[in-house]
């Protein structure tokens, strides 16, 4: 039984008389319509937190898996942090077999990028939820170009320069790890993860804007 049926009884409602009517109110003045004591109730519908419609389980799973792509592609930035902190090493250890497969062929990252963009993002058969999260993962992976260029052009062996590179790599890795945990867990719960900087760039493609994804999400808040 739906919520709207609970608030819409099938039988007409009867007036409730708590006190006898006052003589002055027994007959309404001429020219005025009688007061209506009962008003029809509007149907109430339950809405989810992500904009009105619940997200299907397959869409949640696909969206959550997409956030592993930038993490696998940038896991090399954690070479300093993983060896220093045991909890982070324990989090990454179960993903080592998948990381080895991803890194086993040099073109795997590029092939995954093409697959996600042309097969998922540009495919209207997928929901807006899946395409938005996939685009966020792609934009996050594209941003890895900047620390890679810095590391290639500035590659110190020791001293202060090495400390700066270690800090930069560790920051990039921790950001990827947080995005993976936050993005995947939010998708599994059916919520919309909005990564800083990344979310704005992910909404720029004309395809997503034409679908009105951002407008529908803001309207549901």
Could you give the CA distance from residue 78 to residue 85 in angstroms, rounded to a whole number? 10
Q: How much is the pLDDT for 217?
A: 53
Q: Which of 81-85, 166-170, 213-217 has the lowest mean pLDDT?
A: 213-217
Q: What is the phi-psi region of residue 96: left when phi exceeds 0, alpha when psi lies from -120 to 50, beta otherwise?
A: alpha
Q: How much is the pLDDT for 218?
A: 52
Burial class (CB in 10 A: 0-12, 13-18, 19+), 115: exposed
Number of domains forming the structure of the chain: 1
At 88, give phi and psi (nearest 5°): -65, -40
Inside any domain, residue 146: yes
Inside any domain, residue 212: no
Inside any domain, residue 127: yes
Could you give the CA distance from residue 165 to residue 175 in angstroms, rounded to a whole number? 15
On whether the CB atoms of residues 63 and 133 are closer than 8 A, the answer is yes
Q: Domain of residue 138: give its range.
A: 57-190
Inside any domain, residue 128: yes
Inside any domain, residue 178: yes
Inside any domain, residue 157: yes
Judge if pTM exceeds 0.85. Answer: no
Inside any domain, residue 75: yes
- Percent of the chain as helix, strand, coil, to the nearest 5: 60, 0, 40
Inside any domain, residue 195: no
**Residue-wise pLDDT tens digits, 127-182:** 999 999 999 999 999 999 999 988 888 777 777 888 888 899 999 999 999 999 99
On whether the CB atoms of residues 75 and 36 are closer than 8 A, the answer is no
């Amino acid at each position: 039984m739906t919520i709207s049926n609970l608030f819409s009884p099938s039988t007409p409602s009867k007036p409730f008389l708590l006190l006898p009517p006052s003589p002055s109110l027994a007959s309404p003045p001429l020219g005025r319509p009688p007061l209506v004591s009962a008003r029809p109730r509007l149907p109430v519908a339950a809405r989810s937190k992500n904009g009105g419609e619940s997200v299907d389980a397959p869409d949640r799973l696909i969206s959550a898996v997409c956030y592993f792509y930038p993490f696998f592609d940038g896991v090399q930035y954690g070479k300093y942090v993983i060896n220093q902190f045991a909890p982070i090493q324990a989090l990454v250890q179960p993903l080592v077999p998948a990381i080895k497969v991803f890194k086993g062929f040099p073109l795997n990252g590029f092939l995954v990028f093409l697959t996600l963009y042309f097969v998922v993002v540009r495919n209207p058969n997928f929901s807006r939820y899946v395409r938005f999260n996939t685009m966020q993962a792609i934009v996050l992976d594209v941003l890895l170009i900047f620390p890679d260029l810095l590391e290639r052009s500035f590659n110190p062996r020791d001293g202060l320069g090495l400390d700066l590179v270690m800090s930069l790599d560790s920051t990039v890795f921790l950001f990827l790890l947080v995005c993976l945990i936050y993005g995947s867990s939010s998708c599994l719960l059916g919520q919309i993860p909005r990564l800083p900087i990344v979310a704005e760039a992910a909404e720029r493609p004309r395809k997503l804007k034409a679908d009105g994804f951002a407008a529908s999400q803001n309207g549901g808040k």
